[in-house]
Amino acid sequence: MFFNVSGLLRENTGASRRFSLENDPPVHRGHVELIRMPKGVLVRCDADVVVDDRCSRCLVPFGYPEHISFEEIFVQQVDPSSGAHFPAPDEPDLFFIALDHTIDITEAVRQYTETAAAMQPLCRPDCPGICAECGQDLSMAMCDCPRRPVDSRWAALAALKLSANG
Ligand SMILES: [Zn+2]
Ligand SMILES: [Zn+2]
């Protein structure tokens, strides 16, 4: 996801460009706004992404949709008119405009997609998962291991909700 900003860098603070994103994994669709700032370019990104993940119960790989939205400054390193280099700011974890005046938002999108990913994704809400005793994938076939209630905490929570509603 590259954007050439050599033109934008020659414009005044506040100048902007808008681009659409489509089918550029993990982005399904979205848009990017690039805004000229005194020391670089502010990237505003809004996108529907597909998170590639594994089901937390049965470990099957699957993708699911999430939305990401972020603003990041990409720091300018060189003046496109004069070729003069700016001193690099002494801060960690900055994004930079490349020396050829391009912005690559791939890494930022990856980081925000990772943050948006579910803690315990499920391939389907009622995924039965894998038997803790024998390792059988229970969505394919049942096994003969003795069954315990899935998780007693959920049962307690359900009872609580019932009494709250009543
Ligand atoms: Zn699953
Ligand atoms: Zn089993």
pLDDT digits (tens, 9 = 90+) for 64-120: 999 999 999 999 999 988 989 998 888 888 999 999 999 999 999 999 999 999 999
What is the per-residue pLDDT for 53?
Answer: 93
DSSP string spanning 72-120?
EEEEP-B-TTT-PBPPPPS-SS-EE--TTSEEE-HHHHHHHHHHHS-SS
CA of 107 to the centre of ligand 1 (A): 28
pLDDT at 148: 60
Q: Are residues 78 and 159 in the same domain?
A: no
Residue 67 CB partners (closer than 8 Å, separation 6+): 46, 47, 48, 49, 116
For the chain, the domain total comes to 2
Q: What is the pLDDT of residues 26-51, one digit of tens each?
A: 999 999 999 999 999 999 999 999 99
pLDDT tens across 3-19, in order? Answer: 999 999 999 999 999 99
Pairing, β 40-54 against β 102-104 = unpaired
Residue 59: HSE in the Cβ half-sphere, 13 Å Cα cutoff:
7
* Statement to judge: residues 109 and 33 lie in one domain: yes
Share of the chain above pLDDT 90, in %: 70
The reply to whether 44 and 99 lie within a common domain is yes
Distance 39 CA to ligand 1 centre (A): 47
Distance 124 CA to ligand 2 centre (A): 20
| pLDDT at position 47 | 98
**pLDDT confidence of residue 88:** 82
Ligand 2 centroid to residue 134 C-alpha, Å: 4
Q: Are residues 94 and 145 in the same domain?
A: no
Residues 117 and 77 in one domain: yes
Question: What is the predicted pLDDT for the residue at 157?
Answer: 63
Shared domain check, 147 and 75: no
**43 CA to middle of ligand 2, Å?**
50
Same domain, 25 and 107: yes
Q: What is the pLDDT of residues 138-156, one digit of tens each?
A: 988 889 888 665 555 666 6
Q: What spacing in Å lies between the alpha carbon of 149 and ligand 2's midpoint?
A: 14
Whether residues 119 and 137 fall in one domain: no
Q: What is the residue range of 115's domain?
A: 2-127
User: In this structure, are 104 and 146 located in the same domain?
Assistant: no
Q: Which two tokens mark 90?
A: 């002494």
Do 145 and 110 belong together in one domain? no
Residues 76 and 146 in one domain: no
pTM above 0.85, yes or no: no
Give the model's pLDDT for residue 162.
63
User: Does one domain contain both 102 and 76?
Assistant: yes
One-letter amino acid of 100: D
